[in-house]
Structure 1
Amino acid sequence: MGKYGDWLVMLVAGSLIIYWLYRLFYRWLHEPPSMNSKLLLSNAEEVREDDENVRFLEHRGYEVTYGRYRLPITIDLDGQLLQSRLFIDLIAEKDGKHYIVKTARDRMPIDWTGSGVRDRLMVYALLMPESEGILFVDGKERTIRTITFRFG
């Protein structure tokens, strides 16, 4: 090929590798932060087969993969540490899509307005952005509501 042909091939190959590394870094830098759900849910309780919500979800075609999970939260408020927790009731899967499941509770009714749903359930969508959405299961009324949040 000659003296200059070899250098040209090396220059093109090196440029492609540098461009590929730049795109890889750029994608990593601009992707939204997320928690690894497998790591997050590694301490989840076993799925209770006798739970009416589990049976109802399985009857509707969902596979319940994880049980109740408690996520401890430490809050720094003006130098004072506060403790809290966030509960995920279940994780279900259907057609290869994962859903966070919240169950209805009599003592905590949900306001089915935009702001009520946002205030009560959006934290779960932000906690696990790779999930398809949130299923709100009411075992007494035999309903499943699917909630998804779209930003922008």
Structure 2
Amino acid sequence: MAKYGDWLVMIAAGILAVYWIYRGFYRWLHEPPGLHSNLLLSRAEAVNEEDENVQLLEQNGYEVTYGKYRLPISIDLDGERLQSRLFIDMIAEKDGKHYIVKTARERMPIDWTGSGVRDKLMIYALLLPEAEGVLFVDHKEQLIRTITFHFPE
């Protein structure tokens, strides 16, 4: 009787191990690519402490953890290969929450409507979904705007 009990325990342990491996693989396969942002941002430039945007963020309690990052993008358009880049100005942290920082540019103003904000800033929320939101920093206006996107389940 004891030898059947040992086999039963071994089979149960085997089934549990296979299920555990399957769930780990399934989770890895279906998680968004941005969850590995430390790997993504490991090539970010050093933080420029002299930058007015950095100083404004620090005055408001944020800690700038990463500097400018350039993400190369390869696009296939009808068989033609196009190249582009996406720029992240900074990554800041406050109260354990991480934010993607975009700075104001005179040549690229933002239309502060739902569609304008979506068109200019939503890509960053999708790129790094674990970030709390996007901070828009305008040192000339001494303004920090926090933008978060909420998607239905």
TM-score by length of 1: 0.90
Residue 52 of structure 1 corresponds to: 52
Q: Which amino acid aligns with 1:29?
A: L
Structure 2 gaps of 5+ residues are: none
- Is contact 1:46-1:66 (8 Å) kept? yes
Q: Which amino acid aligns with 1:10?
A: M
How far does the alpha carbon of each residue in 1:95-145 deviate from its partner, in whole angstroms, 9 at most, with x for none? Answer: 121111001112211111111111000111111112111100111111111
Residue 115 of structure 1 corresponds to: 115
Question: How do 1:70-109 and structure 2 match up within 5 A?
Answer: 70-109=70-109
Structure 1 gaps of 5+ residues are: none
In the TM superposition, residue 23 of structure 1 has moved relative to its aligned partner by 2.1
The separation in 2 between residues aligned to 1:76 and 1:31, in whole angstroms, is 24
Bigger mean CA deviation after superposition, 11-20 or 129-138? 11-20
Residue 5 of structure 1 corresponds to: 5
What percentage of residue pairs aligned between the two structures are identical? 76
- Match of 1:42, SS? helix
The separation in 1 between residues aligned to 2:139 and 2:108, in whole angstroms, is 15
- Is contact 1:69-1:89 (8 Å) kept? yes
When you count helix as a share of all residues, which structure comes out higher? 2
Residue 124 of structure 2 corresponds to: 124
Question: How do 1:129-148 and structure 2 match up within 5 A?
Answer: 129-148=129-148
- Is contact 2:67-2:90 (8 Å) kept? yes
- Is contact 2:35-2:130 (8 Å) kept? no
- Match of 2:7, SS? helix
- Is contact 2:68-2:87 (8 Å) kept? yes
Residue 62 of structure 2 corresponds to: 62
- Is contact 1:35-1:127 (8 Å) kept? no
The separation in 2 between residues aligned to 1:33 and 1:2, in whole angstroms, is 49
In the TM superposition, residue 30 of structure 1 has moved relative to its aligned partner by 2.8
The separation in 2 between residues aligned to 1:129 and 1:36, in whole angstroms, is 10
Bigger mean CA deviation after superposition, 109-118 or 71-80? 71-80
Aligned residues: 152
The separation in 2 between residues aligned to 1:19 and 1:36, in whole angstroms, is 24
The separation in 1 between residues aligned to 2:45 and 2:2, in whole angstroms, is 68
Q: Which amino acid aligns with 1:4?
A: Y
Counterparts in 2 of 1:31 and 1:44: CA distance versus 1, 3 Å: closer
Q: Which amino acid aligns with 2:7?
A: W
- For the aligned residue pairs, the C-alpha RMSD in angstroms reads 1.6
